[in-house]
Amino acid sequence: MSTPRVYVIHENPEWFPPLAAAFAAEGVPVQEVLLTEGQIDLGAEPEPGVYWSRMSASSHTRGHEHSKEYTRAVLGWLERAGRTVVGGSHVLELEVSKVAQHGLLQAAGFDVPRTSAVFGTAPLKEAARTFTGGQDVPFITKHNQGGKGLGVRRFDSLAEFDAYVDSPEFEAPVDGITLLQEYLTAREPFITRAEFVGGEFVYAVRVDTSAGSFELCPADACEVPQVIAGAVCDVPGVEAPGAPAAFSLREEVTSEHPLVQRLRTFLADQGIQIAGVEFMETTDGRTVVYDINTNTNYNPAVEAVAPVSGPRAIARFTGALLERDHAVAAV
C-alpha cells in the first residue's frame, strides 16, 4: 500500500499542470490517473486515498472513446470498496448527459431552455418540425454528450436545418442523441459560469459571446470549431491573438446572489462537489440555466485577479477529505 494521496482521474494530461501546481502549493500529495488505458485487480483493495474524477464528456474527441467506460468501471470499484470519491458515478452520468443535466435542473425549478432529445439521425428533420411547430424560428442543436460546444449550431429555418442534416458537415453525436433547443437571446453578449468547489461558491466568470470572438478555439488540444460564439473552450485562457479577452471575473455575482444560493443548494442536494454551472440572462428577462460542467477548467486570466483560486480550493477541499479519512498531515 502506498502513502495516501489524492488521485485525479482524467484523460487529458494537458489539464493537469495547473492542478499539480495548486496541490503542491497547498501541500497536498496528488497523483494523476490517466484513464486512457490501464488495469485494475478486481480482487484487490484500491490504494488508500481520496479519488477525484474529472472525466470529460468530450474525451472521445481526443481519441479516448472508451475513457468514459473505463471511468464507470473504476468509480464503481472504488465506491464498492468504500473509498471517498469526489465526482463519483452519479456525477459522471451527469457529465456525459445534457438530458440528465436538464432533467435535474428542471426538477429543481430552474428556468431551463425548452429542449427535445432526438434519438438517431433519421428522425431529426421531422423532429425539428415538431419542435418548431413547422415555423422558421431560430433553434439550436447540441450533442447530449457534449463539452466544448460539440454540435452546438444555430439554425434560422427548417430548410437550413434539412440541408445541414443531409450534408457531409453533419456531426453525428457520439451517443446518437441530438438535442434541439430553443434559441436564447442574451440581453448582453455574455454568459456566466458560476464555479463551486466543495459546496462553496468560488467565483463567477463572464464569458464574452460577441460574434467572432470565439468562433474557432485556437488551442491545439481543442480542434473542434466553435460554431457558436460563447462555447467555453476545454482549454480556457487560450484566445485568438488580438481578440478581446473572452473570460473575465464577474464581480457583481457573489455568494449572496439569489441564483448562486439556489445553485449551491441544488449542488449540495445532488452531491455534486465540484462544478461550473452556466446561465444566460435573456432579452425577455429570464435567467436560464443550461449547462453543468463537472470537469471544469479554470481560466488563467480570471485566476490572476480572483480573490480565491479554483484549483487551490480543490486542493484544500480534497486535502481536507484526505486528512479526515487517513489522518495524514499535509506534507
In whole angstroms, the minimum distance from the beta carbon of 278 to Mg ion comes to 5
Based on the shown chain and the rule CB under 5 A, indicate whether residue 239 belongs to the binding site for Mg ion. no
Cβ atoms 215, 225 nearer than 8 A: yes
Based on the shown chain and the rule CB under 6 A, indicate whether residue 209 belongs to the binding site for ligand ATP. yes
Instruction: Give the Cα separation of 50 and 171 in Å (integer).
Output: 38
Cβ atoms 79, 85 nearer than 8 A: yes
Strands 139-143 and 153-155: antiparallel
Based on the shown chain and the rule CB under 6 A, indicate whether residue 96 belongs to the binding site for ligand ATP. no
- 3-class DSSP assignment, residue 245: coil
Task: Tell how far CA 230 is from the center of its chain.
Answer: 14
Site string for ligand ATP, 286-315 (x = CB under 6 A): ----xx-x----------------------
Identity at 4, one-letter amino acid code = P
Based on the shown chain and the rule CB under 6 A, indicate whether residue 181 belongs to the binding site for ligand ATP. yes
Based on the shown chain and the rule CB under 5 A, indicate whether residue 278 belongs to the binding site for Mg ion. yes
Give whichever of 146 and 311 is closer to ligand ATP, judged by the CB atom: 146
Binding to Mg ion in span 78-137, by CB under 5 A: none
Cβ atoms 308, 16 nearer than 8 A: no
DSSP 8-state assignment for residue 322: H
Based on the shown chain and the rule CB under 5 A, indicate whether residue 208 belongs to the binding site for Mg ion. no
- Measured at the CA of 323, the angle between CA 200 and CA 18, to 5 degrees, comes to 60
Cβ atoms 175, 93 nearer than 8 A: no
CA proximity to 303, closest of 236, 216, 231: 236
Give whichever of 8 and 232 is closer to Mg ion, judged by the CB atom: 232
Give whichever of 130 and 185 is closer to ligand ATP, judged by the CB atom: 185
Binding segment (CB under 6 A) for ligand ATP, from list 123-131, 242-250, 285-293, 304-312: 285-293
Q: From the list 195, 208, 291, 303, which residue makes contact with Mg ion (rule: CB under 5 A)? A: 291
Q: Which residues bind ligand ATP (CB under 6 A)?
A: 113, 140, 142, 146-150, 152, 181-184, 191, 209, 228, 230-232, 278, 290-291, 293
Q: Which residues bind Mg ion (CB under 5 A)?
A: 232, 278, 291
